[in-house]
Amino acid sequence: MSLRIVVTVKYVPDATGDRHFAKDLTVDRDDVDGLLSELDEYAVEQALQIAENADDAEVTVLTVGPEDAKDALRKALSMGADKAIHVEDDDLHGTDVMGTSLVLAKAIEKAGYDLVISGMASTDGTAGVVPALLAERLGVPQVTLLSEVSVEDGVVTGRRDGDTASEQLEAQLPAVVSVTDQSGEARYPSFKGIMAAKKKPVQAWDLSDLDIEAEEVGLEGAWTKVDSATERPARTAGTIVTDEGEGGKQLAEFLASQKFI
Amino acid sequence: MAEVLVYVDHMDGAVRKPTLELLTLARRIGEPVAVAVGAGAENTASTLAEHGAARVLTHDASEYADYLVVPKVDALQAAYEAVSPAAVLVPSSAEGKEIAARLAVRIGSGIITDAVDLEAGDEGPVATQSVFAASYSTKSRVSKGTPVITVKPNSAPVEAAPAAGAVEALAVSFSAQATGTKVAARTPRESTGRPELTEAAIVVSGGRGVNGAGNFAIIEALADSLGAAVGASRAAVDAGWYPHTNQVGQTGKSVSPQLYIASGISGAIQHRAGMQTSKTIVAINKDSEAPIFDLVDYGVVGDLFEVVPQLTEEIKARKG
């Protein structure tokens, strides 16, 4: 039987752009270019590698996001994913991490899955909790923050490098996996891949397809409320000296004046 | 007074500093009740009591070491049900965030991650977060259920606040999911003898300009002269010069020390995201146009192979 892999991906504002908040304190998506979150490319890559090593596998990329989020799906499809699901609904605007994980979990269940693969965090929200939330909601093992992953005979194994120890993990499928940026360089889409992606199916679902009420998500339904967002004042200009043989000593003098020595 | 649950991060009973910082923040909201599980849990009590824990709920079982995350979620949920707290605070480690998130689903609560400050508010605790690579600061609160909040290291001072710290056995029954992910093997990381990167008061980092794994010895020497932790930029880590656990930046650790010294680091957004909130920033770089100089309190344009050893020697001389 085919190994069904669902990769969750997010369309995020470019981190190298000038990111801002909109008036309702949600992320302003209009003024900054969006793209597939870099950390999700690693998830797509590992999904493709697992699929290539399986006798029969299908990789579906799933995103929850506005119209433009299709770009993130196209990128994943051009890397080699087989099909895509786009959950889009005006009522989703302002959904927080709890709501997003609810929508993703319902969509994953509807799509059918043996393995869910996510990135370690998004590059905009950066919470890094969606994989754990999905495992909890789906009631399947959580095998997260892996820098190495493989699947064999219905068992997923991987290495989780923590601060105090490196752990070798294993769990039976179905399971939720997340991979770090150490899991292996993500491939670039080939020209052939880009052309092929245009013909791959992108399914569109809205909240009613997932039996989710509008009140459960969106800004009003969010489990958290942002009261204010303040731009950090630019750091005041410091002293810059050019080393003419005494740079290290000058620096030591500064550190001493600040009581660090 | 309302009780606030604090999840304890400890190693065989030795409490890590971020947990003591959580106790400081918990006391702003109510009376701290600590939850410590795993080997040595009971040994955490005296330290926790000194820093304000009124009660310390403990439980040990082999499941905590043998399976990933879920047994700890079961324990925290048991404590939540026993205490009915006003809020649940968890250290913002990779594991801490996962534990907190799963608890939040179970108790129908919202979650705020990576808070850098916390204060009491009329509608519950207000958390400050540093977002978009620290270019914005937001204030938020949990609007559904009991607030579950994870807090980053170095977000509050450690304060002595003696309390009873009465040890109580926590009754935990493990869920069906508890044994889902087996920890088949564990290799402890070798201790460098240096402070933990995210907890250190001073961090000395090296980047592309260090130009080789062997050259990191001069970064380490400077760090050791200051009792600092060693960090590395993504470029240095990707080149294989320094371990990923030391990476500072968006895909590594985010640090907020009293003093951050960047050597041979240009200051790309990827790196700035992880160190921009440091109190004092110092940089040494050959390129006077490097964006890192926009952030510094003091910068030296020069060759790090000249400047850093001279700085190290001068610090040693001054310290005597």
Whether A46 contacts chain B with CB within 8 A: no
B102-157 residue pLDDT tens: 999 999 999 999 999 999 999 999 999 999 888 899 999 999 999 999 999 999 99
Whether A164 and B318 lie within 8 Å, measured CB to CB = no
Q: What is the pLDDT of residue A125?
A: 87
Q: What is the count of residue pairs from A and B with beta carbons less than 8 Å apart?
A: 259
Domain span at residue B279 reads 202-319
CB contact under 8 Å between A240 and B296, yes or no, is yes
Whether residue B269 is annotated as binding a ligand: the answer is yes
Residues 6 or more apart whose CB falls under 8 angstroms from that of B70 comprise A142, B102, B175, B177, B178, B179, B180, B181
Cβ separation of A127 and B113 shorter than 8 Å? Answer: yes
Give the pLDDT confidence of A147-169 residue by residue, as tens digits.
999 999 999 999 999 888 999 99
The ipTM value here is 0.95
Whether residue B155 is annotated as binding a ligand: the answer is no
- Token pair of B144, please? 């559904």
Is B229 a domain residue? yes
Q: Are residues B110 and B19 in the same domain?
A: yes
Q: B106 a known binding residue?
A: no
Asked whether residue B218 is assigned to any structural domain, the reply reads yes
**Any idea which of A10-24, A208-222, B150-164, B301-315 has the lowest mean pLDDT?**
A10-24
Mean pLDDT, residues B17-40 taken together: 98
pLDDT tens string B56-100: 999 999 999 999 999 999 999 999 999 999 999 999 999 999 999
Would you say residue B224 lies in a domain? yes
Q: Please give the tally of structural domains in chain B.
A: 2
Is residue A19 less than 8 Å (CB to CB) from chain B?
yes
Number of domains in chain A: 1
Rounded to a whole number of angstroms, the distance from the CA of B24 to the nearest CA of chain A is: 23
Q: Is B296 annotated as a binding residue?
A: no
pLDDT reading at A1 higher than 70: no
Domain contains B147: yes
Stated pTM of the model: 0.95
Task: Please name the residues in contact with B297: beta carbons below 8 A apart, sequence gap of 6 or more.
Answer: A235, A238, A239, A254, A258, B280, B281, B282
Dist. CA B229–CA B278, nearest whole Å: 14
For chain A, percent of residues with pLDDT exceeding 70: 100
Closest chain A residue to B144, measured at CA: A223
Q: How far apart are CA B163 and CA A248, in angstroms?
A: 47
Cβ count within 10 A of residue B184: 11
> How much is the pLDDT for B132?
87
Which 113-132 residues of chain A touch chain B by CB within 8 A?
Answer: 120, 123-124, 126-129, 131-132
- Binning pLDDT at 50, 70 and 90, where does residue A230 land? very high
To probe the interface with B, which of A159, A243, A244, A254 has the most B CB atoms within 10 Å?
A: A243
Nearest chain B CA: its distance from A95 CA (Å):
12
Q: pLDDT tens, A31-72?
A: 789 999 999 999 999 999 999 999 999 999 999 999 999 999
CATH number (domain holding residue A109): 3.40.50.620
Residue A226 forms part of a structural domain: no
Rounded mean pLDDT of B27-47? 98
Same domain, B155 and B298: no
Tell me, yes or no, whether B157 and B88 share the same domain. Answer: yes
The domain in which residue A40 lies consists of 3-221
